[in-house]
Amino acid sequence: MKIQSKKIAEYTAMLVIWLGLVLLFGMLSHNFLSARTFAALANRIPALVVIAAGMTLVLIIGGIDLSVGSVLGLCGSVLGVAMMDYHLSFWAGTMICLGIGLAAGALNGAISVGLGIPSFIVTLGMLEVARGLAYLTTHSQTKYIGSEVEGLSGPIHGLGVSPAFFISLLVIVAGQVALSRTVFGRYLIAIGSNESAVRLAGINPKPAKIAVFALLGFLSGLGGVFYTSRLGSSDPNAGMGLELSAIAAVVIGGTSLMGGRGSVVNTFFGVLIIATLEAGLAQVGATEPAKRVFTGGVIVAAVILDAWRRHLHPANRSSV
Amino acid sequence: MSAPLLQVAGLQKSYNAPVLVDFNFALRPGEVHALIGSNGAGKSTFARILCGLTADDGGEMRFCGQAYRPKSKREAERAGVVMVLQELNVIGALSIAENIFLNRLPRRGGWVRFTELREKAVQALARVGLNELDPAAPAGQLGVGHQQLVEIAGALARDCRLLILDEPTAALTDPEIERLFENIRRLQTEGVGIIYISHRIDEIRRVANRITVMRDGRHIATHDAGDVKLAQLIREMAGHDLPERRNSRGSAGGEVALSVRHLRAGGRVRDVSFQARRGEILGLTGLIGSGRTETLCAIFGAEARDGGEILVEGNAVVIRSPEDAVRAGIGLVPEDRKQDGLLLAQSIRVNTTLATLRQHAGKCGWLDGRAEAETAEKFSRQLQVHCASLEQAVGELSGGNQQKVVIARWLARDCRIMLFDEPTRGIDVAAKDTIYQLLRDLADAGKAVVVVSSELTELMLICDRVLVMSTGRITAEFLAGEWTQEKITRAAFSGHFEQREGAG
């Protein structure tokens, strides 16, 4: 199968880039190439992974969601309040979190798709609303929850990585399969390629578009649970600026901001690359501002490289 | 008789097919010279060459006694040739004065000199009789007629000696038209030559001094406007019938598949009723802007309908969106396949199965890639799509093969009623033949086929019946064999002249 082999070649390319980065930091710092580094990496990224997976689908339909970080913060805050003030169990709290995330995402989608308002503006509004609600629910206080939530992000004995990491891998696989093997995924790619053609093929694009935003909201809620569980406490400031990391990861993974083309698996590599960069730069002693300068440069370089590659091989625009 | 302002001899232009063939034309100072002809006669191409938007392929043009061959719109304007386009170019947010002088604002060191701008604008507006307008008002507040006059004022402010008006009255109300004509007369007395392109023969006979008829890129005849009969103009625009008629079979068709009753949509479709039968190819023609495309879009639910009903096989159907139309068994191959038909970056397979994804998927929405490939394979072979592989992006295919992919999508869906909007636009001759054959095959398979086309010869070649639209209404119906180019052309123009003249 020609398509399969092309996909595998893309995955391999991303893997090679990541491995190159790992080796580079391994040479620069003697402590970098250790099991501890990788375990820390794996346990830090689940929230970003699940959100970036959802963000991939949103970018594929030509939309964007800036509210993911705030929705994560809101959901984490609600989890804290539910468990500490209302003494709900972790699972009940999680269900509420996911419900709130789903609702926020569905609202984003319903307003932007239903009323034809650019998702950039709608989700910018949601960014403020959700963050404000996070402060209101927690009275701007960080709530310590403790061991009841930490299990999800603690390493599984003998494996070194957490259940959250496995769940995020599952989300990546499910997202990729949905994108490339289901009617829903095909609609997303078609909508991102030419929405007018989709409509004139007798398909109503709105339900799929709203569903994508709702899905990303749900995954932001899940990200909120992961984040809270990793800290052991709920923090209304959680996830600030996360939307930018998520979009960066998706773009590094080669998904087009214009829509119609993308891969969830490559987004996972995008997250790995960003997280490795941050961890590696910290290891070699870069300061926080220097890290930001460097990471920003890499994002732009990745996009330039991608545009250049597609310019050389226009056939690569095909993506299903 | 004064010396000509513009003299054109042997002008040539061709894209894929010749558009202007050995075209001759002359314009005197102070003359309004109308250009008429059916769609594709070459009027607009000629206008575009004159104002530097298109390069000619050969021939001689002399303007004010000097050789003239503008390389750009700017150069043409400097020489004094200005065109007011069919679509207005007024920028609503800027003031009237700024619109008139947009590319040559009086300035000093990057600062606009508003006093001077205002003075110049007042003068320019006075020339078109718009003394009452405030040049500082935003242009977007003006009605269409005034916007057009503002554009003309802008043209004149450039020391224009040749003004080209392309369908200037298309969007105007009657009083606005009167005002335009007053201005045209004023310009005539100033010695400005005017080329007036329009379908509206009654207007042309009022305003023009001479009328030149174009057909298939050639100069057919030039008449003094005063003494030419309408019938003669129509005969000249229509030309002679091709003797060959292939494929079509006259009164064909079984039971009625599609009935449209009193359809109204937007301003373009005013009252359209017709029936399409199984097994027939029904042509729908008319001038550009007569509402053909809009009629198809309204039937398909792609454009909002203001009234009327649609019946599929005798049952009234509610069509509010293309989704409803497809469910009712109607498919549309749109006019602009790149804009509205294809996912250019996606493969032939993905494009072919777009309207039938559910049939290629299991219960949970799980796609069956093999079934998809089989469908794409089957219809690509049937339609002779030339491609490297079914995974090739359709953006890399030729126009004809792209069109086949759009058609394959509907074949896969097996729609009972197929609407085609300009199915052979931009397609080479060989691919055209395949598509004609395909339309006939569809009809033979019991489908109702409706084809919109500007090319009369095409419709006369393939259709069993042709409907002619003019200004939003169906003005004539012809069975195969009953039609002539002249009859169809007359019907296409009939909305534009008064009926009592039509007898002439």
ipTM: 0.88
Six token digits for residue B301: 């639910």
pLDDT digits (tens, 9 = 90+) for B367-418: 999 999 999 999 999 888 888 899 999 988 888 889 999 999 999 999 999 9
**Mean local confidence (pLDDT), B94-115:** 86
What's the DSSP call for residue B239? -
Which chain A residues touch B409 with a CB distance below 8 Å?
201
With bands split at pLDDT 50, 70 and 90, how would you rate the model's confidence at B250?
very low
pLDDT digits (tens, 9 = 90+) for A83-103: 999 999 999 999 999 999 999
pLDDT exceeding 70 applies to what percent of chain B?
A: 94
Residues 6+ apart with CB under 8 A from B235: B486
Q: What is the pLDDT of residue B183?
A: 86
Between the two ends of chain B, the Cα-to-Cα distance in Å is: 30
CB contact under 8 A, A320 and B340: no
- The SS3 assignment for A276 reads helix
Pairs of CB atoms within 8 A across A/B: 97
CB contact under 8 A, A200 and B365: no
> What would the CATH number be for the domain defined by A39-317?
1.10.3470
Give the integer Cα–Cα distance in Å for A183 and A196. Answer: 18
With bands split at pLDDT 50, 70 and 90, how would you rate the model's confidence at A246?
very high
With bands split at pLDDT 50, 70 and 90, how would you rate the model's confidence at B40?
confident
Whether A203 has a pLDDT exceeding 90, the answer reads yes
CB contact under 8 A, B367 and A183: yes
Q: Given this chain, do its domains B6-90+142-238 and B243-329+416-428+445-504 carry the same CATH topology? A: yes
pLDDT digits (tens, 9 = 90+) for A22-71: 999 999 988 888 888 888 899 999 999 999 999 999 999 999 999 999 99
Give the integer Cα–Cα distance in Å for B493 and B473. Answer: 11
Which chain A residue is nearest to residue B297, measuring alpha carbons?
A: A200
Q: Hey, what amino acid is at B23?
A: F
- Which residues of B touch chain A, with CB atoms under 8 Å apart? 300, 302, 321-323, 325-327, 331-332, 334, 339-347, 350, 354-355, 357-358, 361, 364-367, 369, 389, 391-393, 395-396, 409, 413
CB contact under 8 A, B357 and A187: yes
- Put simply, the chain A residues between 67 and 106 with a CB less than 8 A from any chain B CB are none
The CATH fold assigned to B243-329+416-428+445-504 is: Rossmann fold (3.40.50)
Which chain A residue is nearest to residue B330, measuring alpha carbons?
A: A202
B284 phi and psi angles, rounded to 5 deg: -135, 120
With bands split at pLDDT 50, 70 and 90, how would you rate the model's confidence at B46?
very high
Q: What is the pLDDT of residue B157?
A: 81
CB contact under 8 A, B345 and A319: yes
Domain B6-90+142-238 in CATH 3.40.50.300 = yes
Q: For chain B, give the mean pLDDT.
A: 87
- Cα distance from B423 to chain A (closest Cα, Å)? 15
CB distance from A182 to chain B under 8 Å? yes
User: Degrees (nearest 5) of the Cα angle B155, B157, B159?
Assistant: 90
Question: Angle B144-156/B114-127 helices, nearest 10 degrees?
Answer: 110
Question: Which residue of B339, B343, B391 is in closest CB contact with A3?
Answer: B391
Give the position of tokens 């009969």: B229
- Cα distance from B345 to chain A (closest Cα, Å)? 5
Q: What is the pLDDT of residue B365?
A: 87
Whether B77 has a pLDDT exceeding 90, the answer reads no
Which chain A residues touch B293 with a CB distance below 8 Å?
none
Range of lowest pLDDT (A254-263, B83-92, B120-129): B83-92
Residue B404, number of CB atoms within 10 A of its CB: 29
pLDDT exceeding 90 applies to what percent of chain B?
A: 44
**Mean local confidence (pLDDT), B282-299:** 90
CB distance from A204 to chain B under 8 Å? yes
With bands split at pLDDT 50, 70 and 90, how would you rate the model's confidence at B240?
low
Question: Strand B18-27 vs strand B32-36: parallel, antiparallel, or unpaired?
Answer: unpaired
Whether B6 has a pLDDT exceeding 90, the answer reads yes
- Cα distance from B207 to chain A (closest Cα, Å)? 42
Whether B252 has a pLDDT exceeding 80, the answer reads no
Whether A314 has a pLDDT exceeding 60, the answer reads no
Which chain B residues touch A193 with a CB distance below 8 Å?
343-346
What is the residue extent of each domain of chain B? 6-90+142-238, 243-329+416-428+445-504, 340-414
pLDDT digits (tens, 9 = 90+) for B476-503: 999 988 888 888 988 988 887 754 444 3
Which chain A residues touch B322 with a CB distance below 8 Å?
199-203
Question: Which residue of B302, B357, B393 is in closest CB contact with A317?
Answer: B393
Find out whether B89 and B151 touch, Cβ atoms under 8 Å.
Answer: yes
**Mean local confidence (pLDDT), B179-208:** 88
CB distance from A195 to chain B under 8 Å? no
Of residues B18 and B27, the one with the higher pLDDT is B27
Give the integer Cα–Cα distance in Å for A292 and A249. Answer: 14
Give the integer Cα–Cα distance in Å for B436 and B488. Answer: 21
Question: Which residue of B341, B346, B354 is in closest CB contact with A318?
Answer: B346
With bands split at pLDDT 50, 70 and 90, how would you rate the model's confidence at B110?
confident
SS (H, E, C) B80-98: CEEEECCCCCCCCCCEHHH
